[in-house]
Amino acid sequence: MGRTREMTHLLTMSQKPLVRSNQWSTQFQRREKKSKHKPTEASSRRSDFFARGAPDLNSSGIGVSVGANRYRAHDPRFESLSGHYDQDMFEKKYSFLKDAQEDEIQRLKARVAAWKKTGRSGTKARRKLGLTDGSASLEEDKEQLSYLMQKSSERRKDQVQRAAKRAVKKKIREEVAEGKRGAYYLKRSEQKRLEVEAQFDELQKRGGSSAVDKAIAKKRKKKSSKDKRFLPRKG
């Protein structure tokens, strides 16, 4: 038994250098370039492999950038392959965003009102809304409220204008179909006049006479302020 163990030990010791030499030769062959025309292989285990960045297809050395691998952020919902973009359909599908914005406006109005209250009632209102921890201020809430109200106003104005343009196009198509006029392109002045009339009709439907009167007063004020700039100044 002891002789057999000794022979096994000697055989193992005699094979170790051979195994080590085979490992070194295999590793050398792996690193060696197979051809001078092939690129050098780099191991991804090196710490600087990812620090150098991904290989750039445009780095050809000729000074030409084709943008083949340039990253472009995009939303597939707004790509041309997804079909024609219909803003009305988009607003209908994402109407919950408008509702959330209106809820936020009401919440900010309540916060601003609580900030402006004085005395014990003001302290009670601010405590109820969680405004006593010092994480917010009246100026921040007023600024956010003004921003959201401006966005809401712009959205409603855009909706009225798009509805007016649709009404004008529908009216022209109906007149052409009835033979009242032939197919032709409107002049810019006539297009503008029809769109303004359609806008007032749309305002009448949405907000009644008060909305129309408010829009007319706003236009008059804007026109008068524009005319005042051309008047001679006194003294």
Does residue 18 surpass a pLDDT of 50? Answer: no
Given CA atoms 163, 169, 171, 177 in this order, what sign does their dihedral have?
negative
3-state secondary structure of 63: coil
Given CA atoms 211, 214, 216, 219 in this order, what sign does their dihedral have?
negative
**Average pLDDT of the chain, as a whole number:** 74
**What tokens does 68 get?**
């083949």
Residues 66-108 have pLDDT tens digits of: 555 566 777 777 777 777 778 888 888 988 999 999 999 999 9
* pTM of model > 0.85: no
Cβ neighbour number for residue 75 with a 10 Å cutoff = 7
- pLDDT above 70 coverage of the chain, percent: 68
112 CB-contact burial (10 Å; exposed 0-12 / middle 13-18 / buried 19+)? middle
**What tokens does 2 get?**
């002891």
Most confident of 3-17, 30-44, 75-89: 75-89
Residues 152-197 have pLDDT tens digits of: 988 888 888 888 888 888 888 888 888 877 766 777 787 778 788 7
